[in-house]
Amino acid sequence: MSTTDHPRVAAVVIMAAGAGTRMKSSTAKVLHHLAGRSMLSYAVDAASALDPDHLVVVVGHQREQVEEHLAEVAPQVVTAVQHELRGTGDAVRSGLAGLGELTGDVVVTSGDVPLLTGDTLRALVEAHRGEGNAVTVLTTIAPDPTGYGRIVRDGGEVVRIVEQRDATEAEQAISEINAGIYVFDGAVLGSGLAELSDDNAQGEFYLTDVIGFARGLGRRVGATVLTDSVQAQGVNDRIQLSALSAELNRRILRRWMAQGVTIVDPGSTWVHDSVDLAPDVTLLPGTSLEGATSVASGAVIGPDTTLVDVEVDEGAHVVRSHATLAVIGPGAEVGPFAYLRPGTNLGAKGKIGAFVETKNATIGQGAKVPHLTYCGDATVGAGANIGAGTIFANYDGVTKSHTTVGAASFIGSDSVLVAPVEVADGAYVAAGSTITAPVGPGELAVARGQQRNIAGWVARKRDGTKTAAAAEAALRGSKPQTNENEDGR
């Protein structure tokens, strides 16, 4: 099973120079995402599982984009440029050009086959070595083989691969297809590539013609049939991209369910490859977990919630909310309808409630921001209570400033805290206040107009209205007479 008593794979060449015309995109095909990562990054991961001496990605079309992406996500990878797209044989020739003479096994894969795993590649290399092949092709049985190269066999051996456009009617009826993933004897590949001709329907140098070359040397060519045929599927258009992306998501969800995560509706739940979930997490319908999100045991997320790069601690609940780059402490409650922007840090058992937006805000243990608030550039102390409709006015049109609310302080509803400003521990702010100066410990700040009542105003200014009638009745000490009451309803 292990490759330890064998030499390492000499090189993996990932072909990714193609034009990807059918994507109709200004983004290179292999940079399109599934489960939060580029197709190419999955191909690089699978190749890396072989721990080859060289890992080369062949770039061509939109190559600056592809090179930039690789430098970011896989700096260990070497790129080789295919200047003219003259077919898969030419692509591999370009890939190997910088590596000199190779002895040992060379694996060839594609940048647009994202579900292929490292385990499958390892098994292919094992089969290649076990059977003493010069070439081993990964194949699968396709319900609709149209467009793929067909595997022409003679008993257990592969005689050749014929492309759709070059195939006879009888060959087109073959349902075993070439996945485009191979192991070659490096020396055979090197001399075979030098002999390729472009005399075929597409005028391209076909990598698959190396098979005929190997057989001409009297060497064996084998095939490994993949039963999990989804792993062999390539992406050429956005319909295939969405199908494989849904399949990858199903596989990710199954893995988490097997590890003890409850997922009520897998059909409407999307979890990126990079997310980490603990046992006894519950995901309700309509949940999307993206990027470096992690969710600890006992937490319940959803319904209808998107978390991007969010840490959710044990037992927290997040309901119908959207959060990015935030930390939600143990036992904390978020939502429904909360918007947590980057830098939000909600303490243990804290609350960010309905129609609350937070940004760059540290909300202490047990502190509550329950309703209709904007809380930006703020520190809210443990156990503080922020009344409904409070606004942290952090921006004067030029600079952003900070607001501090001390521990166990109480901000009355509909207050405005104009930053920079500090409310000390154990202070009160009266409802409807606009706070522009510091409030000390134990103080009540009242910053609003004094209330003034003008007697008799309704009778003088609104005579004949139902309000005036109600006032008159109230002043007489009897109930107002209304039509509704006369009807007895």
**Which sequence positions are flagged as catalytic?**
371
Q: How far is the CB of 131 from ligand UD1 (least distance, A)?
A: 21
Binding-site size for ligand UD1 (CB under 6 A) equals 28
Spatial separation of the C-alpha atoms in residues 140 and 179, rounded to whole Å: 7
Cβ-contact 215, 209 below 8 angstroms? no
Q: In the window 42-61, what residues touch ligand UD1 (CB under 6 A)?
A: 58, 60
Assess 383 for contact with ligand UD1 (CB under 6 A).
Answer: no
Assess 433 for contact with ligand UD1 (CB under 6 A).
Answer: no
Q: How many CB atoms lie within 10 A of CB 96?
A: 24
Spatial separation of the C-alpha atoms in residues 297 and 6, rounded to whole Å: 43
Q: In the window 139-198, what residues touch ligand UD1 (CB under 6 A)?
A: 148-149, 161, 163, 177-180
Nearby residues of 2 by Cβ (< 8 Å), 6 or more positions away: none
Nearest to 125 by CA among 72, 185, 191: 185
Q: How far is the CB of 77 from ligand UD1 (least distance, A)?
A: 15
Q: Which is nearer to ligand UD1, 145 or 353 (CB)?
A: 145
Cα–Cα distances (Å) from 462 to 454, 457, 465, 476, 482, in that order, read 14, 8, 6, 18, 17
Q: Which is nearer to ligand UD1, 16 or 380 (CB)?
A: 16
Q: Which is nearer to ligand UD1, 152 or 257 (CB)?
A: 152
Q: Which stretch in 14-22, 237-245, 385-393, 434-442 sits in contact with ligand UD1 by CB under 6 A?
A: 14-22
Out of 32, 63, 105, 112, the residue judged to bind ligand UD1 by CB under 6 A: 112
- Lookup: tokens for 472: 């008159």
Q: In the window 226-245, what residues touch ligand UD1 (CB under 6 A)?
A: 234
Cα–Cα distances (Å) from 99 to 11, 12, 59, 313, in that order, read 9, 11, 16, 49
Q: How far is the CB of 360 from ligand UD1 (least distance, A)?
A: 43
Q: How far is the CB of 184 from ligand UD1 (least distance, A)?
A: 13
* φ and ψ at residue 375, rounded to 5 degrees: -125, 95
Cβ-contact 57, 77 below 8 angstroms? yes
Q: How far is the CB of 13 from ligand UD1 (least distance, A)?
A: 9
Cβ-contact 262, 168 below 8 angstroms? no
Assess 16 for contact with ligand UD1 (CB under 6 A).
Answer: yes
Assess 18 for contact with ligand UD1 (CB under 6 A).
Answer: yes
Q: Which is nearer to ligand UD1, 112 or 333 (CB)?
A: 112
Q: Which is nearer to ligand UD1, 113 or 289 (CB)?
A: 113
Q: Which stretch in 206-214, 246-254, 282-290, 339-347 sits in contact with ligand UD1 by CB under 6 A?
A: 206-214
Q: Which is nearer to ligand UD1, 10 or 16 (CB)?
A: 16
Out of 9, 12, 91, 284, the residue judged to bind ligand UD1 by CB under 6 A: 91
- Only one residue has tokens 């909360």, namely 338
Out of 87, 350, 353, 387, the residue judged to bind ligand UD1 by CB under 6 A: 87
Assess 423 for contact with ligand UD1 (CB under 6 A).
Answer: no
Q: Which stretch in 32-40, 88-96, 294-302, 374-382 sits in contact with ligand UD1 by CB under 6 A?
A: 88-96
Residues at the site binding ligand UD1, with contacts judged by CB under 6 A? 15-18, 58, 60, 82, 85-88, 90-91, 110-112, 148-149, 161, 163, 177-180, 206-208, 234
